[in-house]
């Protein structure tokens, strides 16, 4: 153990959280590794993040990042199709993956004594993946089915796809992560091979390991399995385009086979790298999410126009979003609901929050922080999301500090910048039989 420790280089960054130390390392080939030791249970999470999501795709090839995520579970030069999952599952390791606008990640939740196995298999598929036409065709069918499930036969999916497209237009966030159906069909094997070469290099990847692991041994293990993977040219940097500035709000009404009307509203918000980003969560709590939040109380309890109201801040790289959802009661007028909501928002912008509201919102965000620090998986996701999106995992902890320290003036400054009616996008989905 002493010898191992001596060979381990000092971390690039070390962050303390309570009694824990979270450390970042970078290998010579550019691969980054974040380790958070926690010996409270014999489990660990191993997440591999690539800095590529649907926001990196080119026109005509939407869905590429997500389809590729499916293909990563197929075959390598050392493992036949199906062996990757089978080997991990038999060892009690659960696997999954996700693709979004700025990233793709691959997750393993493992008994901590299986760390070496996971590192070996993950390094193998990063370096030795095999792609062929048959795999592409089968997985394309699965993805088409996934699209039918998540979008075409889901009102929420249809609304989400529509509002992102309407709000962002040709911006990198304007097309769906799962891809347009015709684009999914058009993706070729050459596209996949090129995509892998450009984006699945160690210099574009970060591994987050959280749980019952020894820091020094983990660093050594990662060096052992990943250190020889050659570095390659850096992935192309995305144009940091701001979302289109609108002069008036955009509204679209969808007639769908629905039982109840639903409204989605998208505001542009600060990106994850801007100081005001964290404050948007507080706005969401005060107006929409708290038990007694202003808009929730008005629409759900006082006027009984909605079953549910929520507001969610999306911490993205190129532009943040504040997305609101109003699930209305049958027969309710979405225009009336919007009118009342706007009146309430205007009143808030005039008066600002009370001290009690601000305390309540801080307490709610603090509880969410505690909840999200319980399992090793959610901690590995938080570290990876921030590190891949903002460039520094410590922003996860900083955002909490910013929220706890946020003053009423700072909150109102963020609220006035975000809650601009003229710049928002609205999609209302109403039952096909609706006259409105």
Partner 1 sequence: MKVIQVENHTLTYIALVLNARAGSALDPPGREGLAYVTAHMLQRGTRRHTREQVADELDLVGTGINVSVGAEGVQFFVDCASANLPGLLDVLSEVLAAPIFDPAELDKLKRQTLAEIHELRDSDAGLAAYFFSALLHEGHRYGPPARGYETSLASITRDDVVEFYRKHYTQAAFVVGIAGDIGPTIRDQVLDATVRRLPAGRTRPATPPVPAGPHGLDLLLVTKPERTQAQVAVGQKAIPGSDPRFMPATVAVTGFGGTFTSVLVREIREKRGWSYGVGAGLAPGRYTGTFRIRYAPKNENVAEALSLTLDLLSALRTDGLANEHLEFARNYLVNQHPFSVDTPVHRLDFLLTLQLTGRPLSQLDRFAETVRTVTDADANSAISSFLEPERSRIVVVGDASLQDSLVKLPGIARFRTVPFDHDGPLPPR
Whole-angstrom distance, CA of residue 405 vs CA of residue 399: 10
168 neighbors 244 (Cβ within 8 angstroms): yes
The least CB distance from residue 387 to partner 1, in Å, is 22
Question: Which is closer to partner 1, CB of 216 or CB of 327?
Answer: 327
Tell me how far, at minimum, the Cβ of 110 lies from partner 1, in Å.
Answer: 8
Closest distance of CB 113 from partner 1, Å: 9
Distance CA(344)–CA(347), nearest Å, equals: 5
One DSSP character per residue, 99-155 reads: E-SS-EEEEEEEEGGGHHHHHHHHHHHHHHEE--HHHHHHHHHHHHHHHIIIIIT-H
CB 315 within 8 Å of CB 389? yes
Distance (Å, whole) CA 410 – CA 355: 13
Q: How far is the CB of 82 from partner 1 (least distance, A)?
A: 6
Q: Using CB under 8 A, list all residues that contact partner 1.
A: 38, 40-43, 82, 85-86, 89-95, 109, 111, 114, 138-139, 141-143, 145-146, 148-149, 152-155, 257-260, 262, 290-292, 297, 300-301, 304, 307-308, 327, 329-330, 356, 359-360, 362-367, 370-371, 373-376
CA nearest to 143, candidates 106, 173, 176: 176
The pair of structure tokens assigned to 18 is 């309570």
95/84 Cα distance (integer angstroms): 10
Nearer to partner 1, 114 or 421 (CB): 114
Q: Which is nearer to partner 1, 29 or 91 (CB)?
A: 91
CB of 397 to partner 1, least distance (A): 14
**Is residue 173 a contact partner of residue 180, using CB atoms and an 8 Å limit?**
no
Token representation of residue 331: 């027969």
Burial class (CB in 10 A: 0-12, 13-18, 19+), 82: exposed
Select 359 or 413, whichever has its Cβ closest to partner 1.
Answer: 359
Find the shortest distance in angstroms from Cβ 230 to partner 1.
Answer: 31
Nearer to partner 1 among residue 93 and residue 418 (C-beta): 93
**Which CB atom, from 95 or from 160, has the smaller least distance to partner 1?**
95
Report in angstroms how near the CB of residue 361 gets to partner 1 at its nearest. 8
Closer CB to partner 1, 328 or 418, in the complex: 328
């Amino acid at each position: 153990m002493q010898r191992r420790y001596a060979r381990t280089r000092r971390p690039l960054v070390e962050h303390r959280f309570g009694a824990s130390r979270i450390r970042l390392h970078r290998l010579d080939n550019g691969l980054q590794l974040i380790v958070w030791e926690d010996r409270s249970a014999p489990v660990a999470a191993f997440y591999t993040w690539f800095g590529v999501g649907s926001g990196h795709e080119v026109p005509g090839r939407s869905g590429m990042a997500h389809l590729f995520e499916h293909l990563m579970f197929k075959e390598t030069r050392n493992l036949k199709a199906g062996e990757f999952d089978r080997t991990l599952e038999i060892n009690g390791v659960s696997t999954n993956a996700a693709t979004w606008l700025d990233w793709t990640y691959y997750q393993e939740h493992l008994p901590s004594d299986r760390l070496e196995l996971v590192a070996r298999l993950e390094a193998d598929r990063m370096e030795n993946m095999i792609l062929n036409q048959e795999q592409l065709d089968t997985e394309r069918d699965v993805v088409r089915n996934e699209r039918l499930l998540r979008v075409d036969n889901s009102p929420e999916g249809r609304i989400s796809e529509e509002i992102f497209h309407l709000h962002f237009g040709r911006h990198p966030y304007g097309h769906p992560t799962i891809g347009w159906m015709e684009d999914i069909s058009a993706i070729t094997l050459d596209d996949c091979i090129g995509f892998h070469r450009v984006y699945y290099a160690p210099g574009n990847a970060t591994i987050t390991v959280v749980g019952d692991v020894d820091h020094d041994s983990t660093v050594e293990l990662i060096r052992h399995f990943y250190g020889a993977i050659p570095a390659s040219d850096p992935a192309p940097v995305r144009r940091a385009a701001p979302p289109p500035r609108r002069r008036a709000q955009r509204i679209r009404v969808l007639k769908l086979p629905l039982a109840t009307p639903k409204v989605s509203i998208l505001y542009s918000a600060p990106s994850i790298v801007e100081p005001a980003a964290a404050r948007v969560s507080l706005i969401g709590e005060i107006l929409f999410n708290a038990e007694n939040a202003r808009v929730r109380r008005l629409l759900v309890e006082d006027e009984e126009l909605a079953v549910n109201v929520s507001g969610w801040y999306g911490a993205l790289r190129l532009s943040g979003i504040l997305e609101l959802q109003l699930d209305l009661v049958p027969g309710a007028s979405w225009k009336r609901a919007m009118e009342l909501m706007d009146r309430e928002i205007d009143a808030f912008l005039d008066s600002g929050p009370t001290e009690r509201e601000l305390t309540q919102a801080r307490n709610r965000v603090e509880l969410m922080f505690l909840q999200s620090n319980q399992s090793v998986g959610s901690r590995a996701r938080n570290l990876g999301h921030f590190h891949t999106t903002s460039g520094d995992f410590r922003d996860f902890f900083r955002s909490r500090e910013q929220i706890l320290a946020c003053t009423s003036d700072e909150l109102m400054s963020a609220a006035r910048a975000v809650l601009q009616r003229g710049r928002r996008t609205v999609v209302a989905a109403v039952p096909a039989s609706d006259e409105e």
